[in-house]
Amino acid sequence: MKLQIKIDGKTYEAEVEVLEEAAGAPGLPPNLPGSYASQPMPATGAYTPASSVEVHSADEKQYRSPLSGLVIKINVKPGQQVQPNDVMMVLEAMKMETSVTAHHAGRVKNVGVAAGDPVKAQQLLVELE
């Protein structure tokens, strides 16, 4: 049996052999027409990394873990001034890194974890004054 396949506007011809006479695989029609044109996958929404998850409390001074994971890097210490979008620490979960960033300027009051510490979701990480 010959099939025509269209990929990115270019048509390819393929010859296939049917090994078993079957009514078709689940979800496929029993008799394939002479040609199929592939359709591009619909565009999905942009990937939203976990780092965009709310990691600060309503008062904007407490930053909490957006996930359960491991602290792999801490970039701040008590007394240090931070600016908006400064990466305060990096967490890892399932081989993916998530940055915890400052949402406004402030001075670090407390860092509640150390590099290598496991953290739970919503655990307090950093407090600003």
Global pTM value: 0.56
**In this predicted model, what pLDDT tens digit does every residue of 103-122 receive, in sequence order?**
999 999 999 999 999 999 99
Q: Closest Cα to residue 88, out of 120, 56, 57, 59?
A: 56
Domains of the chain, each with CATH number or no CATH: 2-37 (no CATH), 55-128 (2.40.50.100)
Under 8 Å between Cβ of 30 and 24: yes
Under 8 Å between Cβ of 63 and 56: yes
**In this predicted model, what pLDDT tens digit does every residue of 13-55 receive, in sequence order?**
887 777 765 554 555 555 555 444 444 554 444 444 444 444 4
